[in-house]
C-alpha cells in the first residue's frame, strides 16, 4: 500500500487510528537517523498491508463458512419462475417432480414435438392453443384416425375430455395468468385414435403411432392400453418398433386395475411404463405395478385442462395412470429442449438414473415404483456434468458367445475424456477386471468388445467408469445372465425372439421333433423283433401278400353259357357257344415279406398293414 492510500495518513504500529506524521513528531519522541527513519517507514508500510489483508480475509470469512476450491463459470442463470397461473397452487404433481426448479434452467422449446395418441385434443382451448403443433402443409394440428380427417378435436359428451387433460399436463401454457401450468413449453401433435367413450382399435392406434414418428415426434404419449395377453406380435407392437427405430421415445400408462401385471403396450420392452403415486408419495391403490415397470409419477387429483368451450380457467380434476404418463413425457420433452441431440436410449437412461425412490422403498429398483418417481430437475441437472449412458448390452448370452458393451458420456459437449473403460466380474459389487482404457470427448460413442461369460458363471456384472477433467464418474451396475440353452438353440432363439409368433412356432416344432425321434426309433426296434400282424384280411390291401400255401392244382374249366340279349322280332333259338378250355397257369405265391405302401397324403413309405400314416396321421381306407 502506498503512503497516499489513506489520504496522506499512515497506520502506525501500536496505534488504533490514523495520525498525521507531523503531530507524531511533536509528541516528544526523539528523531531517528535518516536511515533508521526510512527502515521504519518501510516496516510500517508492510505492517499496514498485512493488517489490511487480514481485515479483508476475515471479512470474507465472515460472509462465507468455507472457501471454494473450484470456480464454475459461464453457467446459465434465469429469474426464478413463479407461474401466474391461478391453479398452479394446486398442482402438487409439478412440485413433486421438481418442475419449478427445472424451469429456472429451461421452460421448454416449441421445436420439440410430443404426440398425444388419445381421444384428440380440444386444441382451441386458450391455455394450450399456442402450444399446438401446426402442420406446415395445411395448417392443421394432427389427424383424426377415427373419422379419417385432419381435425383431431376432442369431442366428448361425457365431459371427461381425456386427451385434452393429458395434453394439458404436458404442455399447458405456463405463466399466462389463466388455467394451469404445463410440464414443458413444447409443441403437441394431437392424434385421435380413440372415440369419445375412450374406446378404440389397435389398428387406429398403430396408425397414429406411425404417423407421429413420420412427422418428427420425439416423444409419443400413450395414455391407453389393455390387460389382454397376446401370443404373437400385434400391429401396435410393430408400430412401436417402427417409431423406436425412428428415434422416438414411447411412454405408456401401466394401467388402473391395481394388479401386479402391466397393461399392454406398457409391458413391451421398448416402451417406458409409468405407474401412479398419490399425494403422500406412495403408490396409488388403483395403479398397476410389477416386474418391468420403469417409472412412477403423480396420478391422483390432477388438475388439468377441460374441453367443451374456450372459456379461460376451464379446468377440472382427473386421476389415473393416464395422467401420470404425461408427466414423464413432459420431463423427456424438457430434456430434449436442453439437449436436442439426445437419443431415445439416452433419454431413457437419464430418466431412470435420476428418478427418486420414495422413503423406505427398495433401491435402486423395485417393482412398486420401478426406478422411482420421475424428477425433471435431477434429470436436467445431470446434463450439467458428465453422465455415463450405457446404450447397448445383451441381457442374456450363451456360454460360448462373445458380446460387446457400448456407451456414451453426456453432459457439456466436447470436454476431454482422458480415460473410460468397463469394470466387470462374476460377483455383484466385486468387479476386479477391467477393459483397456479409451479416450475421447464427451458425446463420443465408446465400445468394448470381446466379452464372454466366464466358465461356470451364472451371470456377469459390469459398470462403466470415465475420467473427465480429472474427476471420475461411474455408471450403475448392469447384469448379463448366462442362458442354459445350447449355443445353436440360443442363436435361433435370439433370431426369433423379435417375433413372438415365429418363436412360438419354433418351440412347437422343436417339441414335436424331440417327441417324434424316440418314438420312431422305438417303432423300428419293435418291427425288428416282431413280424407285423394283419388286423384285417389281406384282400383289404392291394399290396398285401397272399397266404402262404401250396399252389392249387389245375382244374378243368367248366364251359360257360352266355345268353344273347333279345331283340324285337320273331324269337330265335338260343345259340350255345362252347369256348375252348384254356389251362389255368399256376400263380407263384410270394413269400411273406414286410410289404410297403406309400401314404397318399405325405408320400411316406409305411408298412402295408398300417391303418394310418405314422408321420402325418392320414388314415388309410
CA dist 332 and 379 (Å) reads 9
Peptide bond into 265 cis (omega under 30): yes
CA dist 487 and 540 (Å) reads 51
Among the listed residues 241, 253, 181, the one whose alpha carbon sits nearest the alpha carbon of residue 209: 241
**With contact defined as beta carbons under 8 Å apart, do 620 and 610 qualify?**
yes
CA dist 224 and 226 (Å) reads 7
Surface-to-core class of residue 390, CB atoms within 10 Å of its CB (0-12 exposed, 13-18 middle, 19+ buried): buried
Q: What are the beta bridge partners of residue 605?
A: 598
pLDDT at 44: 53
Backbone angles phi, psi at 505, to 5 degrees: -65, -40
Q: Is the pLDDT of residue 584 over 80?
A: no
CA dist 268 and 239 (Å) reads 12
- Kindly give, in sequence order, each residue whose CB lies less than 8 Å from that of residue 247, ignoring residues fewer than 6 positions away: 218, 343, 344
CA dist 424 and 426 (Å) reads 7
CA dist 182 and 304 (Å) reads 9
Look up residue 524 and give its DSSP letter.
Answer: H
CA dist 245 and 270 (Å) reads 10
CA dist 194 and 383 (Å) reads 37
CA dist 126 and 310 (Å) reads 6
Element (H, E) at 103: helix 99-103
Domain residue extents for the chain: 10-60, 88-384, 396-487
Residue entry with cell 420403469? 294
Query: What is the CATH class of 396-487?
Result: mainly beta
CA dist 120 and 450 (Å) reads 49
Backbone angles phi, psi at 573, to 5 degrees: -70, 135
Please give the residue that has the higher pLDDT: either 80 or 360: 360
User: What does the pLDDT average to over 140-164?
Assistant: 96
**With contact defined as beta carbons under 8 Å apart, do 336 and 180 qualify?**
no
Q: What is the pLDDT of residues 433-479, one digit of tens each?
A: 999 999 999 999 999 999 998 888 889 999 999 999 999 999 999 99
Active-site residues, by number, are 118, 162, 322
Percent of the chain at pLDDT exceeding 90: 59
- Considering the entire predicted model, what is its pTM? 0.68
**With contact defined as beta carbons under 8 Å apart, do 304 and 258 qualify?**
no
Q: Is the pLDDT of residue 556 over 60?
A: no
Peptide bond into 157 cis (omega under 30): no
Chain-wide mean pLDDT for the chain?
A: 80
User: What does the pLDDT average to over 422-431?
Assistant: 93
pLDDT at 555: 54
Fold identical between 88-384 and 396-487? no
CA dist 346 and 391 (Å) reads 7
**Residue 21 in grid coordinates:** 506524521
Backbone angles phi, psi at 65, to 5 degrees: -75, -25
CA dist 360 and 249 (Å) reads 30
CATH code for the domain defined by 88-384:
3.40.50.200
Between 167-171, 294-298, 587-591, 612-616, the lowest mean confidence (pLDDT) is in 587-591
For the sheet with 387-392, list strands across it. 387-392, 402-410, 445-452
Report angle CA 184, 185, 191 to the nearest 5 degrees: 90
| Residue 69 exposure: Cα atoms within 13 Å on the Cβ side | 0
Confidence band for 361, pLDDT divided at 50, 70 and 90: confident
Confidence band for 14, pLDDT divided at 50, 70 and 90: very low
Maximum alpha-carbon separation in the chain? 193
Confidence band for 292, pLDDT divided at 50, 70 and 90: very high
Q: What are the beta bridge partners of residue 409?
A: 388
Residue entry with cell 377441460? 306
> In whole angstroms, how far apart are CA 88 and each of 160, 183, 298?
21, 11, 15
Among the listed residues 482, 498, 506, 507, the one whose alpha carbon sits nearest the alpha carbon of residue 268: 498
User: What does the pLDDT average to over 376-389?
Assistant: 94
DSSP characters over 345-405: HHHHHHHHHH-BPPTT--SS-BTTTBT-B--HHHHHHHTTS-EEEEEE--SEE-TT-EEEE
- Kindly give, in sequence order, each residue whose CB lies less than 8 Å from that of residue 25, ignoring residues fewer than 6 positions away: 31
Q: What is the pLDDT of residues 502-513, one digit of tens each?
A: 666 667 777 777
**With contact defined as beta carbons under 8 Å apart, do 128 and 138 qualify?**
no
**With contact defined as beta carbons under 8 Å apart, do 373 and 458 qualify?**
no
Backbone angles phi, psi at 4, to 5 degrees: -95, 5
Please give the residue that has the higher pLDDT: either 610 or 454: 454
Amino acid at each position: 500500500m502506498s503512503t497516499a492510500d489513506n489520504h496522506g495518513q499512515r497506520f502506525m504500529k501500536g496505534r488504533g487510528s490514523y495520525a498525521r506524521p507531523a503531530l507524531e513528531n511533536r509528541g516528544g519522541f526523539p528523531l531517528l537517523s535518516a536511515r533508521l527513519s526510512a527502515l521504519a517507514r518501510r516496516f510500517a508500510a508492510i505492517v499496514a498491508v498485512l493488517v489490511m489483508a487480514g481485515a479483508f480475509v476475515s471479512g470474507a470469512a465472515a460472509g462465507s463458512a468455507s472457501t471454494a476450491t473450484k470456480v464454475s463459470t459461464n453457467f446459465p442463470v434465469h429469474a426464478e419462475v413463479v407461474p401466474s397461473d391461478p391453479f398452479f397452487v394446486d398442482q402438487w404433481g409439478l412440485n413433486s417432480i421438481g418442475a419449478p426448479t427445472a424451469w429456472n434452467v429451461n421452460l421448454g422449446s416449441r421445436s420439440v414435438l410430443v404426440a398425444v395418441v388419445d381421444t384428440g385434443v380440444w386444441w382451441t382451448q386458450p391455455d394450450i392453443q399456442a402450444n399446438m403443433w401446426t402442420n406446415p402443409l395445411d395448417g392443421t394440428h394432427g389427424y383424426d384416425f377415427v373419422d379419417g380427417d385432419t381435425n383431431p378435436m376432442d369431442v366428448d359428451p361425457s365431459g371427461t375430455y381425456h386427451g385434452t387433460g393429458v395434453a394439458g399436463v404436458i404442455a399447458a401454457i405456463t405463466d399466462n395468468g389463466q388455467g394451469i401450468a404445463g410440464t414443458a413449453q413444447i409443441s403437441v401433435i394431437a392424434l385421435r385414435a380413440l372415440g369419445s367413450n375412450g374406446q378404440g382399435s389397435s389398428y387406429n392406434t398403430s396408425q397414429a403411432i406411425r404417423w407421429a414418428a413420420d412427422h418428427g415426434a420425439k416423444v409419443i404419449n400413450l395414455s391407453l392400453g389393455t390387460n389382454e395377453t397376446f401370443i404373437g406380435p400385434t400391429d401396435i407392437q410393430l408400430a412401436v418398433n417402427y417409431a423406436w427405430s425412428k428415434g422416438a421415445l414411447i411412454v405408456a400408462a401401466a394401467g388402473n386395475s391395481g394388479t401386479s401385471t402391466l397393461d399392454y403396450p406398457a409391458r413391451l420392452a421398448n416402451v417406458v411404463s409409468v405407474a401412479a403415486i398419490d399425494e403422500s408419495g406412495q403408490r396409488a391403490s388403483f395403479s398397476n405395478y410389477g416386474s418391468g415397470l420403469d417409472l412412477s409419477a403423480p396420478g391422483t387429483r390432477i388438475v388439468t385442462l377441460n374441453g367443451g368451450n374456450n372459456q379461460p380457467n376451464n379446468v377440472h380434476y382427473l386421476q389415473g395412470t393416464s395422467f401420470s404418463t404425461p408427466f414423464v413425457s413432459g420431463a423427456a420433452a424438457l430434456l430434449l429442449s436442453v439437449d436436442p441431440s439426445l437419443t431415445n436410449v439416452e433419454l431413457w437412461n437419464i430418466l431412470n438414473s435420476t428418478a427418486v425412490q420414495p422413503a423406505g422403498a427398495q433401491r435402486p429398483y423395485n417393482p412398486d415404483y420401478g426406478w422411482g418417481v420421475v424428477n425433471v430437475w435431477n434429470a436436467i441437472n445431470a446434463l450439467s456434468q458428465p453422465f455415463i449412458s450405457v446404450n447397448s448390452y445383451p441381457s442374456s448370452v450363451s456360454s460360448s458367445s462373445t458380446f460387446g458393451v457400448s456407451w456414451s458420456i453426456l453432459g457439456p459437449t466436447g470436454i476431454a475424456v482422458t480415460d473410460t473403460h468397463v469394470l466387470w466380474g462374476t460377483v455383484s459389487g466385486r468387479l476386479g477386471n477391467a477393459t483397456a482404457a479409451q479416450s475421447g470427448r464427451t458425446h463420443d460413442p465408446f465400445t468394448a468388445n470381446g466379452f464372454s461369460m466366464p466358465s461356470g458363471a451364472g451371470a456377469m456384472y459390469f459398470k462403466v467408469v470415465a475420467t473427465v477433467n480429472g474427476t471420475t464418474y461411474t455408471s450403475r451396475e448392469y447384469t448379463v445372465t448366462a442362458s442354459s440353452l445350447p449355443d445353436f438353440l440360443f442363436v435361433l432363439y435370439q433370431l426369433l425372439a423379435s417375433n413372438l409368433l415365429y418363436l412360438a412356432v419354433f418351440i412347437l416344432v422343436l417339441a414335436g421333433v424331440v417327441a417324434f425321434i424316440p418314438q420312431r426309433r422305438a417303432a423300428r426296434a419293435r418291427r425288428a423283433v416282431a413280424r407285423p400282424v394283419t388286423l384285417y384280411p389281406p384282400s383289404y390291401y392291394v399290396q398285401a401278400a397272399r397266404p402262404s400255401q401250396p399252389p392249387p392244382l389245375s382244374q378243368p374249366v367248366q364251359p360257360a353259357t352266355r345268353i344273347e340279349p333279345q331283340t324285337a322280332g320273331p324269337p330265335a333259338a338260343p345259340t350255345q357257344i362252347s369256348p375252348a378250355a384254356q389251362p389255368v397257369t399256376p400263380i407263384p405265391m410270394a413269400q411273406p415279406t414286410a410289404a410297403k405302401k406309400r401314404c397318399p397324403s405325405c408320400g411316406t413309405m409305411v408298412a402295408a398293414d398300417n391303418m394310418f400314416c405314422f408321420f402325418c396321421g392320414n388314415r388309410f381306407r
